[in-house]
Amino acid sequence: MSNMRQLRFREALREAMTEEMDRDERVFLMGEEVGHYQGAYKVTEGMLDRFGSGRVLDTPIAESGFAGIGIGAAMMGLRPIVEFMTWNFSAVAFDQILNNASKVRQMSGGQFNCPIVFRGPNGSAKQVGSQHSTSMEHFYATIPGLKVVAPAFPADAKGLMKAAIRDDNPVVFIESETLYSVKGDVPDNQDAIEFGRAQVVRDGTAATLVAYSRMTHVALEAAAHLAKEGIEVEVVDLRTLRPLDEETIVRSVQKTHRCVVVHEGWSYGGVGAEIADRVQRLAFDWLEAPILRVAQLDVGMPYNAKLEQACIPQPDRVRDTVKRLVFRDG
């Protein structure tokens, strides 16, 4: 049995990258302030001293440029980890990710792989402004050729990061700035976690809550409140959005007969819409109520603290949504 250690989310990510760089000399890290400044969120702290400036590269503020350099390096056999200071800024590099990273393997007839990891904080934090608060995962989850990862717990962050670095395909690795300091048990020998395997993090029978990244914690908090009222809900943490473990979702809905999807992005065309479509196609005969979604309000993120919190899914919104399903009220 493995010994467990309490690690913060950022520490688990750092361990994964460090261990993979020790294991494979082809792996290197690049991005804004990843080296001398020790990382904007201290995820890469100490890595420059350990690996040197040849493998931990500080870049200019030019996301399209260093994303393109990383893609070229991956095509030539290296395994880059590219950090965006926030996934909002990846919009500047969207052409590189969409038209090069995701397509090069198919367009070259398999002559080129693109083993690259794009990682960084996603979604809102605390009053970082609208241009730093967009949940970008649904943009990338629509693109064939990309894998999209969104862990909620430190052990998953480490295991999934290891899997991402070893994968021969481009991986979009979604982190939440608000999770970086969250602690959790991580096995001493935590190895790679297979993509496309969701986990049930709370058992229940009244309804299924499907969530990922920070929203898994929101769903768990809502579930704890509901349990005090005698309503036991099941919480499914997706871990990866592409590939999506629809079997675990469907199996849970077959047990609970109700489904609420909780995600931080906008609802229109979002991850929740995709999950709702799959549930109604694959588990229609088991549903006893409509599939509902709890998402960010359909506006750009306000800077005002109270308005910001009003926009983001909160445990009370999740709780009220579940009660609407259970009691068919409204």
Q: Which residues are catalytic?
A: 63, 132
Q: Any idea which residue has 């819409």 for tokens?
A: 273
3-state secondary structure labels for all residues of 28-79: EEEECCCCCCCCCCCCCCCHHHHHCCCCEEECCCCHHHHHHHHHHHHHCCCE
- Provide the b/e sequence for 40-77 (b: ≥16 CB within 10 Å): bbebbeebbeebeeebbbbbeeebeebbbbbbbbbbee
- Per-residue tokens: 82: 């590219």
CB 158 within 8 A of CB 190: yes
- Per-residue tokens: 35: 């080296």
Distances (CA, A) of 327 to 258, 260, 324, 330: 11, 14, 5, 9
Distances (CA, A) of 46 to 61, 115, 187: 21, 24, 22
Counting DSSP H helices and E strands in the chain, the numbers are 12, 14
Rg (CA), the chain: 20
Q: Kindly give, in sequence order, each residue whose CB lies less than 8 Å from that of residue 234, ignoring residues fewer than 6 positions away.
A: 200, 202, 203, 204, 205, 207, 208, 209, 252, 255, 256
Is residue 88 packed enough to be buried (19+ CB in 10 Å), middle (13-18) or exposed (0-12)?
buried
Bridge partners of 200, per DSSP, are: 236
Q: What are phi and psi of 158, to 5 degrees?
A: -70, -50
